[in-house]
Chains A and B, each alone.
Chain A
Amino acid sequence: MKTKSRDLIWGLIFGIAFGFLLQKGGVTSYDVIIGQLLLKDHTVLKIIFTAVVVGMLGIHLMRRLGWVDFKVKPGSWGKNAIGGLIFGVGFALLGYCPGTIAGAIGNGQLDALIGGLPGILLGSWLLATIYPKIRNGILAKGDFGDLTLPKLLKVNEWLVIIPLSIILVGIMLLL
Chain B
Amino acid sequence: MMSWITETRWSPYVVGAAIGVLSWLTLLISNKPIGCSTTFARGAGMLEKIFRGKRVDQKLYYQEVPPIVDWQFMLVIGIVIGALISALLSGSFRFQVVPDTWFAAFGANRILRIIAGFIGGIFLGFGSRWADGCTSGHGISGTMQLAVSSWISAICFFIGGILAAFFLFSLIA
Residues of A at under 8 Å CB distance from B? Answer: 7-26, 28-31, 34-35, 37-39, 43, 46-56, 58-59, 62, 67-77, 79-95, 97-112, 114-129, 131-132, 135, 139, 144, 146-150, 152, 157, 160-161, 164, 172
Contact = CB atoms under 8 A, between A and B. Distances in A.
Contacts of A22: 15, 79, 82-83
Given A87-B128, A88-B159, A124-B128, A94 B117 contact: yes
19 contacts: A9-B74, A11-B78, A16-B82, A18-B34, A21-B82, A24-B10, A50-B19, A58-B20, A82-B130, A88-B157, A99-B134, A103-B79, A106-B87, A118-B118, A119-B123, A120-B121, A124-B43, A127-B125, A127-B130
Nearest to A8: B74
Interface string B119-155: 1111111111111111111111111111111111111
B75 interface: yes
A108 B128 contact: no
B120 A116 contact: yes
B72 A11 contact: yes
Secondary structure of the B contact surface, majority rule: helix
Interface residues of B, number: 128
Contacts of B96: 108-111
Contacts of B33: 71
A114 B30 CA distance: 32
A133 to B, nearest CB: 10
Contact of A125 (B44, B119, B153): B44
Given A54-B21, A115-B116, A127-B129, A86 B10 contact: no
B80 A19 contact: yes
Contact of A30 (B23, B99, B162, B169): B99
B166 A103 contact: no
| Those 7 A-B pairs whose CB atoms lie nearest each other, nearest first | A88-B160, A15-B78, A119-B121, A75-B149, A84-B156, A50-B16, A19-B82
Nearest to B86: A23
B108 interface: no
A59 B147 CA distance: 13
B162 A79 contact: no
Contacts of B135: 48, 91, 97-100
Contacts of A38: 162, 165-166, 169
